[in-house]
Structure 1
Amino acid sequence: MQKWGKVLLKIGVGLLLLLGLIFFIATASIDTTPYFETEYYHNTIAKMEVAAKNKTEAQGSLLAGFAKVNITPTIVEGSPNLEIGEFNRIKLAGYGDGKIANGVHDSIYAKAIALQVGEQKLVLISADLLLMPEPVVIAVSEKLKGLIERDQLLFGATHTHSSIGNCLPSYVGESFGGAYQPEMVAWLSDKFVTLIKKAIADKHPTKFSSGYIRVPNVVRNRIIGEPGRLNDKLDVLSFVQDNGKKATIGIYSAHATVISTFNDKFSGDYPGYFQRHLEANGTDLALFFAGTVGSHSNKGEGEKFEKAKYIGETLADSAQVVLNRLEYNPNVHLSAITTELEIPKLQFLKISDRLRLSPFIGQKLMPEIKSIPLQGFQLNNLIWLALPYELSGEYGLDLKNALEAEGYQMVLSSFNGQYLGYIIPPKYYYYDTYEAALMGWYGPSMGDYLMELNFKMANVLTHSKF
Structure 2
Amino acid sequence: MRLKKVFRFVLISLAVFIGVIVVFLAISIAPVDRTIDRRSLYEAMLARIDTLRAVGNEDTLTFFVGYAKANITPRHRTATAGYGTRRGKLFESVHDSIYVRTLVVSNGKRRVAIVSADLLIVPPAVTTLLEKELPEIGFTLNNTYLGAIHSHNSIGNWAKGATALLYGPYNDSIVHFLADKIKASIQEASENMLPSKIRAGFIPVPAVANRLIDNGPVDSLLRVLEVQRNDSSKLVLLSYTAHATCLPDEDLHLSRDYPGQLVDALEKNKYTFAMFMAGAVGSHSGKAPESGQACVNWMADEIAQNFANHSAALTPLRGGALAMHRVPLLLSDPQVKVLKNWCLRPRVFESAFGEYPEYLTALRIGDLVMLGTPCDFSGQFDATLDSVAHHQGLRAMVTSFNGGYIGYVTPGKYYDNDHYETQLMNWYGKGNGEYMTQCMEQLILALSK
TM over 0.5: yes
Equivalence for 2:95? 105
The answer to whether the Cα contact below 8 Å between 1:123 and 1:152 also exists between their aligned partners in 2 is: yes
Residues matched between the structures, number? 443
Q: Sort the Cα spacing of 1:8 and 1:268 in 2 relative to 1 into closer, same or farther, 3 A.
A: closer
The answer to whether the Cα contact below 8 Å between 1:132 and 1:418 also exists between their aligned partners in 2 is: yes
Equivalence for 1:47? 48
In 2: Cα distance, 1:351 partner to 1:303 partner: 31
Equivalence for 2:74? 73
Residue identity opposite 2:139 in structure 1 = I
How large is the RMSD of aligned CA atoms in angstroms? 2.3
In 2: Cα distance, 1:433 partner to 1:319 partner: 32
Does 2:161 align with 1:189? no
Counterpart among 120, 130, 144 of residue 110 in structure 2: 120
Helix, strand or coil: the match of 1:145? Answer: helix
In 1: Cα distance, 2:399 partner to 2:91 partner: 27
Counterpart among 129, 150, 154 of residue 139 in structure 1: 129
Superposed CA offset, 1:251-272 (max 9, x none) = 1000000012232111110000
**% identical aligned pairs:** 29
Equivalence for 2:33? 31
In 2: Cα distance, 1:303 partner to 1:435 partner: 20
Equivalence for 2:202? 212
Helix, strand or coil: the match of 1:141? Answer: helix
Equivalence for 2:448? 462
Cα offset for 1:390? 1.1
Superposed CA offset, 1:16-74 (max 9, x none) = 44433222111112234443344x44433332222x23767644131110111121112
Q: Sort the Cα spacing of 1:445 and 1:3 in 2 relative to 1 into closer, same or farther, 3 A.
A: same
Cα offset for 1:454? 0.8
Q: Sort the Cα spacing of 1:7 and 1:367 in 2 relative to 1 into closer, same or farther, 3 A.
A: closer
TM-score by length of 2: 0.92
Equivalence for 2:210? 221
Does 2:147 align with 1:156? yes
The answer to whether the Cα contact below 8 Å between 2:42 and 2:439 also exists between their aligned partners in 1 is: no
Task: Judge which range, 437-446 or 139-148, deviates more.
Answer: 139-148
Helix, strand or coil: the match of 1:435? Answer: coil
Q: Sort the Cα spacing of 1:202 and 1:361 in 2 relative to 1 into closer, same or farther, 3 A.
A: same
Q: Sort the Cα spacing of 1:302 and 1:10 in 2 relative to 1 into closer, same or farther, 3 A.
A: closer
In 2: Cα distance, 1:274 partner to 1:37 partner: 42
Unaligned runs of 5+ in 1: 75-86
Helix, strand or coil: the match of 2:320? Answer: strand
Residue identity opposite 1:446 in structure 2 = N
The answer to whether the Cα contact below 8 Å between 1:236 and 1:319 also exists between their aligned partners in 2 is: no
The answer to whether the Cα contact below 8 Å between 1:247 and 1:285 also exists between their aligned partners in 2 is: yes
TM-score by length of 1: 0.89
The answer to whether the Cα contact below 8 Å between 2:248 and 2:291 also exists between their aligned partners in 1 is: no
Cα offset for 1:303? 3.9
Q: Sort the Cα spacing of 1:457 and 1:35 in 2 relative to 1 into closer, same or farther, 3 A.
A: farther
Helix, strand or coil: the match of 1:230? Answer: coil
Cα offset for 1:413? 0.2
The answer to whether the Cα contact below 8 Å between 2:200 and 2:317 also exists between their aligned partners in 1 is: no
Q: Sort the Cα spacing of 1:330 and 1:242 in 2 relative to 1 into closer, same or farther, 3 A.
A: farther
Equivalence for 1:335? 323
The answer to whether the Cα contact below 8 Å between 1:351 and 1:357 also exists between their aligned partners in 2 is: no
Q: Sort the Cα spacing of 1:420 and 1:55 in 2 relative to 1 into closer, same or farther, 3 A.
A: farther
In 2: Cα distance, 1:321 partner to 1:248 partner: 16
Cα offset for 1:292? 0.8
Cα offset for 1:335? 2.9
Does 2:298 align with 1:298? no
Give 1:249-260 correspondences, 5 Å limit: 249-260=237-248
